[in-house]
Structure 1
Amino acid sequence: MRAADLFLRLFLHLQYVLWYTHNMMVSKKKVMTKKKKISPVLIFFLTLGGILLVGLSGLLFLSLQTGKRGAQQAWNTDADENSRQDDLEGKDNAEAGTPLHSLWEMIPEKQAAAEEEKEPYADILRDPEYMAANRIYEKKSSEDGRVTLCFAGDILFDDEYAVMAKLKSRGGAIEDGISETLISEMRAADIMMINNEFPYTNRGTPTEGKTYTFRADTDTVHYLDDLGVDLVSLANNHCYDFGETGLLDTLDTLQQDGIPYAGAGRNLEEAAAPVYFISGGMKIGFLSATQIERLDNPDTKGATEGAAGVFRCWNPEKLLAVTEETRKNCDFLVVYIHWGTENVAEADWAQLDQAPKIAQAGADLIIGDHPHCLQGIQYFGETPVFYSLGNFWFNSKTLDTCLLKVTLTDSRIESMTFIPAVQSGCYTSLAEGEEGQRVISYMNSLSTGVFIGSDGSISRQE
């Protein structure tokens, strides 16, 4: 029943009681004249009855309203409780079929820890300023936990020499100088490195008295992108052919194109600094240095604290110290070194002297160039040394060459593959069939304690 109905009925009953009482009192006092005033007692009771009527009515109304709200709240509470119970039951039912590892990953702290375990260098990758200051680059690997490195020897983009002149006469695309098969291998690698044996400059003066001086127009740097190159070595005996001006132009050109470089710099600190790539959960370091020229006053100037130049290692003490320090800051270290004797297939005494020292200092892989021809492979401890990869695309001579592919897992070498190639007629192509087997056989004859299979796979022979 509604509160208004109750209030009305109560009011009517009280009115009736008061009316009846009044009539009874009047009938008992018939002797009173009409002019006589109403008794004060009657007035008191009528007033009191009115006050009680209003008070009781108000209390009744408030009580009913409070009870109504309490009932509504109780109903809402029951409904909410039922709803929550349904939600919990539904969640329990859903989670009953959810793997435990999925529930674990729903916890933010655990999820963050899982991400950290998956990408141990996540903090570094979130700090671009730190990465830039320390020459650290991110490179997505094609497969989680596995990184493929690829290396080639000397290249030259100087259009006053045969290879570039021929390339331009054929149309000017890089495929006019290097076969698409080899380019595909280079582009497929997660990290591709070559020896950039010339400066990018339109200025400077050629080194006086030097037989061969190279330089390439700064626009030709795009060929590195076309080849899929991620990193170049500048530690060689030609990047300073047009003096400090030419070298500085080279550094600027590579930086503007986004190509990291190692082995040369505006001062010794930069020239000796490693380049790091974070890829596949690994931090891979690259150092580059040159023994050439082996003179007290070489044409190719070594960098100093205040002058640009290359990172020289004819005296290897600085290189060994940097190698040791760099290895502490990465999971795998490559040292790419310019050494050896030109056009000689056997490693010379200086190579044989420095290779084990560099390996002992912390290098996990040593790649050599400068002789302009292939040289053999040898291990020192667990470190493979490729004494020379030869010319990759450099001149008009017919020469055996290669690509070297190295696959890393868990910061160790999983496999190495020798990809035979031939430079001939200013064109470098994959060596297939009998020609490929000939190049592989030749490399086996140059190597010590190593065997290259017919498929190019490299294995250590005890």
Structure 2
Amino acid sequence: MTLAGQALMKYPVCEAPYDGLLDVIAELRRGDVVFTNLEVAIKTSASGVPTRDTEFFHTGSETTLECLHEMGFNLLSLSNNHAWDLGTSGIIATRDAVDRSGFAYAGTGNNMAQASAAGYLETPVKTALIAMAMGKIRDGAAATKTRPGVNEVVLGADLQPNPKDLERNITAIKAARVNAKIVIVYLHNHEWGEDMAITKPWAREFARQCIEAGADIFVSHGAPLLHGIELQNNRPILHGLGSLVFHSHTDIGYYVPEVWESAIVHVDFVAGQVRHLEIVPVVINEVGDDPARQWPTRGRPKLANEEQAHRILTRMQKKSAELGVNLRIENGRGLLDLG
């Protein structure tokens, strides 16, 4: 299984190949199951009107989905704070486009029950995905019993997930555990607090609860930078994988440098158990490669060089050590053996 940073892909990177793209694609295609979060609403003739008019308005086209397929992805989360950027009809249109493109997916639905339910990738091993979002889900974007939307988990003032939201998703995880060989639980987390680089205690506890309910892997995006890796019952918790593609229209320097660094994580299973993790460092260009096309040529991934890899892995090693996990670094890769 291969898990990557989120795909904020407004401009299909496959349409304008660049030096390093094929290396990234080759790395992604190592996985039988290849996962990311789709951080754009897909615009089709059935989409609604924009619900925001700032640089944080994120949409892509059906060509974006074709590119993700070409890169190797076959499993997508749709639960995030940009799913509603084209309104409620945009959520439905995105689901329909993703479905037509042949992806397995989860995280939005025509109602709360559908948004909370697992999506299933049937081959090569039946894999379930339960996908949620927390924080910056605007009024009207969350699914209800009768309204399409996102599978939202609300964080209370006590820094605890809303009990009904938690129960609904724990029930979905347990059901997926019965129906699939491998269960992935995903959280798109924008409840950062004052420092988005710190993994919060409530987030660690929430991930552990999902593992205890039956998840084999817990993975998170939201904060656009890397967090550490934790283990629960010898199952990996990836607290933050940053971005794989980051077509942000923010000013240069708006984000800290770490936002432009990421990783691809390969997870090897043997007899249904996680045995090995390999972390492949990735860098993303903050400045567009073509000044005349700043936005389409910005935020594109390449595999890190030796110096970049050392910097990324050393930071991730430190963050993981704080969570009780000892990553080792060999030949520009992070490695973790689970027996």
Q: 2:317 — aligned with what? A: 444
Match of 1:6 in 2: none
Counterpart contact for 1:154–1:390, Cα < 8 Å: yes
Q: Give 1:178 deviation, angstroms.
A: 5.9
Larger mean Cα displacement after TM superposition, 282-291 or 372-381: 282-291
Pairing 1:290–2:290 present: no
Q: For residues 250-309 of structure 1, what are the alpha-carbon distances to aligned partners after superposition, in whole Å with 9 as ceiling and x for unaligned?
A: 1111111112211111222221121223445x4322211111237xxx346221232111
Partner of 2:185: 335
Quick one: structure 1 residues 212 and 257, their matched pair in 2 at CA, closer, same or farther if it must change by over 3 Å? same
Aligned to 1:410: 271
Indicate the residue corresponding to 1:317 in structure 2: 167
**Residues 1:301 and 2:144 aligned together:** no
- Separation in 2, partners of 1:236, 1:359: 21
Equivalent residue for 2:157? none
1:422 is paired with a residue whose SS is strand
Superposed displacement of residue 422, structure 1:
0.6
After the TM superposition, which of the residue ranges 390-399 and 376-385 deviates more from structure 2? Answer: 390-399
| 1:50-449 equivalence runs, <5 A | 149-159=1-11, 173=15, 175-176=17-18, 179-202=21-44, 203-208=47-52, 212-280=56-124, 282-293=125-136, 298-299=138-139, 301-314=141-154, 315=162, 316-339=166-189, 340-341=191-192, 344-395=196-247, 399-424=260-285, 425=287, 426=298, 427-447=300-320, 448-449=323-324
- Shift of the alpha carbon at 1:189? 1.4
Q: Is the 8 A contact 2:112 2:148 kept in 1?
A: yes
- Which structure: greater helix fraction? 1
- Partners of 1:230 and 1:244 in 2: CA distance: 24
Superposed displacement of residue 347, structure 1 = 0.7
CA distance in 1, matches of 2:179, 2:107: 18
| Aligned pairs, number | 300
Asked whether the 8 Å contact 2:276–2:337 carries over to 1, the reply is: no
Q: TM-score, normalised by structure 2?
A: 0.81
300 and 388 in structure 1: CA distance in 2 versus 1, 3 angstrom threshold:
farther
Shift of 1:349: 3.5
- Deviations 1:403-451 (CA, angstroms, capped at 9, x unpaired): 0111111011121110001111323111131221221111011112221
Unaligned stretches of 5+ in structure 2?
155-161, 249-254, 288-297
Whether the 8 Å CA contact 2:91–2:149 is kept in 1: the answer is: yes
Aligned residues: CA RMSD: 2.4
More strand by share: 2
Structure 1, unaligned stretches of length 5 or more?
A: 1-148
Q: Which residue of structure 1 lines up, in the alignment, with residue 330 of structure 2?
A: 454
How many Å apart are 1:387 and its aligned residue?
Answer: 0.5
Letter of the structure 2 residue corresponding to residue 153 of structure 1? G
In the aligned structure 2, how far is the partner of 1:177 from the partner of 1:260? 30
Distance 1:274 1:177 in 2: 37
Larger radius of gyration: 1
How far apart, CA to CA, are the structure 1 residues paired with 2:60 and 2:175?
A: 34
